[in-house]
Amino acid sequence: EANYLLIVSHIKQKQYAKAEELIEQSLKISPDDSKLLNLQALVEQLNGNLDKAIIRYQTIVKKDKTNIPALMGLARIYVVQANWKKAKQRFNQVLEINPNELKAYLGLAAIAEKQGKPEAAEQYFWDALKQTQNNISETLILADLLTRWYRGKKQPEKTLDLANTLVKQNPDSIALRSFLAKAQILNEQYKAAERTLTKLIRLNRNDVKHRLLLAQLIIKEGKRTDEALILINEALTINNYTLSIYTLKVKILVSQKDYEQAINLAQSIQLKFPKVNTGKLLEAEINRIQKKFDKSIALYQEAYTIQPDRKIFSTIINILLSQQEADKAIVLLTEKVNN
């Protein structure tokens, strides 16, 4: 077992020669070990020796027709070679042995897509989802992949259908209701998303994630920033150590033109998170909005000292140029070049 782990570690680090050496040593002791033989074929595959890898995988399958890793290895090589017929044959063999092998469905979906058969590709995704009804984490992985596929096809409405179907199958799943909320937002069904998020928050009083999502959704309406602030303050009561929550609160205060509170909070953020420059950047931007350019530049420079960044440097230069202070901009640029 220790050897397997070490071999896999070498493979992950792309240390194929070391992996191959250790496999050969291990095979002298256990010449029929199918795990070792599959790893040996995999190393050949990763090294680009596809013909050798095929021979090794085929040797394993001749001894054991139900060896899924070898069948999957063959299928993936055939996909690389665009040998769709053989690839499909191997993926289907895998599914005959184990209908729950999700990667085989995804492989078939990829082939269908390559062959210009989007309806077939979509069906393979749904076939995979049927196998995961009792496994929410796997369902979500597949749902995310299918959502990306729908986005590529510019069919966001199908993501909403997907989400509704999954929630009907698993009505008690908070994770799937969260997926539904995101699908509703993707389809600009903001009121429906607000209702879904509100239900999720009621189900869990300590839910920070969905409070933030709801706050961001409400902010889009512009006139409901007070409601958004309430949600943000609730989130901070639950979790006062996440920087992004504070940052969102500053942005809401700025949208309300409550610059004094926004600056006070930005300064508090810098004290609470001194290793990052977020507080300084927020305070600099607030001063910039108020057209307090000298103060803004000074704060951007402090932020740059904490965490040097091209964007900050460019911002300083742009402010100087906008204020007809090209001479100062030239000095800074000269210093930057010299350093």
* pLDDT per position as a tens digit, 82-101: 999 999 999 999 999 999 99
pLDDT of residue 1: 61
Percent of the chain predicted with pLDDT > 70:
97
Chain segment 305-325, per-residue pLDDT in tens? 999 999 998 998 888 888 888
Q: pLDDT at residue 2 above 60?
A: no
CA torsion 203→205→206→210, rounded to 10°?
60
Q: In whole angstroms, what is the distance from residue 323 CA to residue 303 CA?
A: 20
Closest alpha carbon to 208 in 172, 166, 248, 263 = 248
Q: In whole angstroms, what is the distance from residue 186 CA to residue 216 CA?
A: 14
- Contacts of 75-78 with CB under 8 Å at 24 or more apart are 75/104, 75/107, 76/45, 76/107, 77/45, 77/50, 77/53
* 338 compared with 305, residue with greater pLDDT: 305
pLDDT of residue 333: 67
Q: Is 166 helix (H, G, I), strand (E, B) or coil?
A: helix
pLDDT of residue 336: 65
The vertex-266 CA angle with 237 and 278, nearest 5°, equals 100
Per-residue pLDDT band for 337 (boundaries 50, 70, 90) equals low
Q: In whole angstroms, what is the distance from residue 337 CA to residue 339 CA?
A: 5
Per-residue pLDDT band for 338 (boundaries 50, 70, 90) equals low
Chain segment 249-275, per-residue pLDDT in tens? 999 999 999 999 999 999 999 999 999
Contacts of 43 (CB under 8 A, 6+ apart): 11, 16, 19, 20, 23
- pTM of the model as a whole: 0.82
